[in-house]
């Protein structure tokens, strides 16, 4: 049954402009419809927030932020946003309509993709995210449902509904927004969302394209979150034998559990993807993967939807009554079929002799408890434990090095601190002189600096110094634009957004406007000698470049024939003006017009590229040419003046 018939918004016209024709898709926070802009007669997609959420000011703000954010991204691989508005209970975005399907549809239909197809989809996705990252935004909800593949083959990223500025953290309610199968560990633990959470999600999407299945699955969202926190994404070749090691390395780099081990943003990951492609042979790129079985289990459907998950539960799944199940036998069926040599026979439940064996073990333990007190002390003192060195105040690199020297592994987390400088260790678990069994690990908590950072005053500083100051303060340079300014030196900062003194979260992006210096108006130097024109332009603060080729021109040979930019253009000091030198006018054969009527003769000469001057002996209308200043058949410079003398009939 067509459910759109029961949808009250289908058939309505929102804001007197958008006629809703059909429902396309339903998500956790909004429904997408195909609509027509009756004002422009254009088919578009209308994304309408669920009415229940339209009463939540936070969701509405996020929804509107999507429109403003994506409107700033003019990129061919980003679904464009045309308009935003509200009517009654309906808050909506008017967006570009992409006729085609989603990557989820492709994976559901075909299962695993050939590596070439996977990279052909991944690269435009990374190009779109790279544009967002360099503009200071993070998508935060990358998944196959948000990758649109048009009927014409174009790939576009959609649904920037969770978009945030770089460095933002989720709201203080303690909830994580996103889709559990693609959440990065830091999103689950602390809600931190910088460009690297999109990198992680793209790594998971790549794994899914190469294998036809998600890397972490479970019956509940909590189980999936637990696996993201505690287990690495496996190599795709473990599920699909024969995949190139370069693809394993690409997935591993993108899905590293610690964000510092991942490429910084989508641009960096795109460079790695392209490098990996160049190293693959055609046979490796076109390897046909086995069709993966569809995912099953109670958690499969829940993982695909963007949801709100309480962070304390997601961050500490070990507090539940039982340890999360890693994966069901059904979920591993395809892996076992493809790699039978890795199978481990399951242990028999309730086999004969199990109870007597447990009884024997209990007896042995009892004897050891009676007789082994001294030997237990000897075992503890024989080097079973390692002392944790003092790490407070040291840099992360120094702390890692000291732990490695002590034979211990390091697990790094981050937290705010008003006392310890950004990047230094504020505490460890166990603490200094604490004992660790075996080789660890030791958790070191690295300071992110104060929870709130004031934007420094950067006006007048160079761009390099501004970037360095922002980094030292715990912020990042965002979009850099340039503008003319007579009062600020060229290359220095004019202003910042947010403005100096504003309190923002650490790692937030700060947009900078950099001075191009005072504007220089380009003068007209055509017709002047090259030396004169060069001196005149350099005197005004511009550089001069002389084109290698000369051109025919009415200007005298050796003078300036053409300049670029033209007269009146505005440039910054140090910008370059290109001068093209005249080779002199082109010589043209002069037509013979004697005997022709004056009007006809003039037309012939002008058609040959000459100026014409008439010397009339008698003022008759039907006079004819008796003489011409250059005889017919001779040559004269193109554009020069030919004088014709006339006499009456």
Q: Would you name the residues annotated as active-site residues?
A: 141
Q: How far apart are CA 601 and CA 327, in angstroms?
A: 96
Q: How far apart are CA 474 and CA 451, in angstroms?
A: 10
Q: How far apart are CA 553 and CA 638, in angstroms?
A: 9
Q: How far apart are CA 499 and CA 456, in angstroms?
A: 8
Length of the chain: 649
Comparing CA positions, the residue from 483, 481, 491 lying closest to residue 519 is 483
- Strand 410-415 and strand 425-429: the pairing is unpaired
10 Å Cβ neighbour count for 599?
A: 11
CA angle 616, 619, 625 (to 5 degrees): 40
Q: Is residue 2 within 8 Å of 23, Cβ to Cβ?
A: no
For residue 545, give Cα distances in angstroms to 93, 490, 538, 561: 49, 21, 11, 14
CA angle 185, 190, 194 (to 5 degrees): 70
Burial label for 91, CB within 10 Å (0-12, 13-18, 19+), is: buried
Angle, nearest 10°, between helix axes 103-110 and 195-211? 30
Which residues have a Cβ under 8 Å from the Cβ of 547 and sit 6 or more positions away?
A: 578, 579, 580, 581
Return left, alpha or beta for 48; rule: phi > 0 is left, psi -120 to 50 is alpha, else beta.
Answer: beta
Both structure tokens of 176: 């994580």
Q: How far apart are CA 615 and CA 269, in angstroms?
A: 77
Q: How far apart are CA 117 and CA 212, in angstroms?
A: 13
């Amino acid at each position: 049954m067509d459910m759109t018939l029961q949808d009250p918004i289908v058939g309505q016209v929102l804001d007197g402009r958008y006629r809703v024709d059909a429902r396309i898709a339903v998500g956790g926070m909004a429904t997408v419809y195909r609509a027509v802009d009756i004002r422009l007669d254009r088919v578009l997609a209308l994304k309408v927030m669920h009415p229940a959420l339209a009463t939540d000011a936070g969701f509405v703000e996020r929804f509107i932020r999507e429109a403003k954010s994506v409107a700033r991204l003019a990129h061919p691989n980003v679904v464009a946003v045309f308009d935003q508005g509200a009517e009654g209970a309906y808050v909506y975005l008017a967006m570009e309509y992409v006729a085609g399907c989603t990557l989820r549809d492709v994976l559901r239909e075909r299962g695993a993709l050939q590596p070439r197809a996977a990279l052909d989809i991944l690269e435009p996705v990374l190009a779109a995210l790279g544009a967002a990252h360099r503009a200071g935004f993070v998508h935060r909800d990358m998944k196959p449902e948000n990758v649109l593949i048009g009927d014409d083959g174009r790939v576009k990223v959609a649904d920037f509904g969770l978009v945030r500025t770089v460095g933002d953290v989720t709201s203080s309610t303690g909830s994580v927004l996103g889709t559990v199968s693609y959440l990065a560990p830091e999103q689950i633990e602390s809600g931190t969302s910088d460009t690297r959470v999109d990198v992680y999600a793209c790594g998971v999407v790549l794994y899914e394209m190469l294998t036809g299945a998600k890397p972490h699955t479970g019956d509940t969202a909590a189980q999936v979150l637990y696996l993201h926190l505690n287990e690495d994404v496996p190599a795709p070749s473990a599920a699909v034998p024969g995949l190139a090691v370069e693809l394993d390395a690409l997935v591993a780099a993108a899905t590293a559990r610690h964000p510092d081990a991942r490429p910084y943003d989508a641009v960096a990951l795109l460079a790695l993807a392209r490098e990996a492609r160049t190293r693959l042979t055609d046979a490796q790129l076109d390897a046909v993967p086995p069709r993966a079985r569809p995912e099953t289990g109670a958690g499969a459907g829940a993982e695909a939807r963007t949801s709100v998950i309480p962070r304390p539960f997601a961050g500490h799944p070990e507090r539940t009554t039982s340890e999360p199940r890693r994966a069901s036998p059904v979920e591993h069926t395809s892996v076992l079929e493809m790699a039978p040599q890795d199978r481990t026979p399951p242990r028999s439940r309730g086999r004969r002799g199990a109870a007597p064996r447990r009884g024997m073990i209990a007896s042995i333990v009892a004897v050891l408890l009676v007789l082994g007190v001294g030997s237990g002390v000897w075992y503890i003192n024989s080097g079973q434990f390692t002392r944790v060195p003092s790490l407070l105040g040291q840099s992360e690199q120094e702390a890692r090095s000291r732990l490695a020297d002590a034979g211990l592994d390091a697990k790094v987390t981050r937290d705010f601190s008003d006392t310890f400088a950004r990047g230094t260790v504020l505490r460890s678990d166990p603490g200094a002189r604490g004992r660790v069994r075996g080789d660890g690990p030791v958790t070191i908590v690295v300071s992110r600096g104060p929870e709130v950072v004031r934007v420094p005053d950067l006006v007048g500083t160079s761009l390099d110094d501004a970037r360095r100051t922002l980094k030292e303060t715990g912020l990042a340079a965002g979009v850099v634009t340039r503008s003319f300014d007579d009062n600020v030196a060229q290359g220095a900062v004019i202003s910042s957004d947010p403005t100096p003194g504003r309190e923002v979260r650490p790692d937030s992006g700060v947009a900078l406007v950099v001075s191009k210096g005072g504007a220089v108006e380009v003068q007209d130097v055509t017709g002047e000698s090259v030396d004169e024109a060069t001196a005149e332009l350099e005197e005004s603060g511009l550089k001069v470049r002389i084109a290698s080729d000369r051109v025919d021109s009415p200007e005298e040979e050796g003078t300036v024939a053409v300049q670029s930019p033209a007269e009146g253009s505005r440039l910054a000091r140090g910008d370059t003006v290109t001068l093209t030198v005249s080779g002199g006018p082109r010589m043209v054969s002069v037509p013979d017009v004697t005997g022709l009527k004056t009007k006809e003769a003039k037309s012939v000469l002008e058609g040959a590229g000459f100026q014409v001057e008439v010397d009339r002996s008698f003022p008759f209308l039907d006079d004819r040419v008796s003489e011409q200043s250059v005889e017919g058949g001779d040559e004269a410079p193109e554009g020069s003046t030919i004088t014709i003398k006339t006499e009456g009939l």
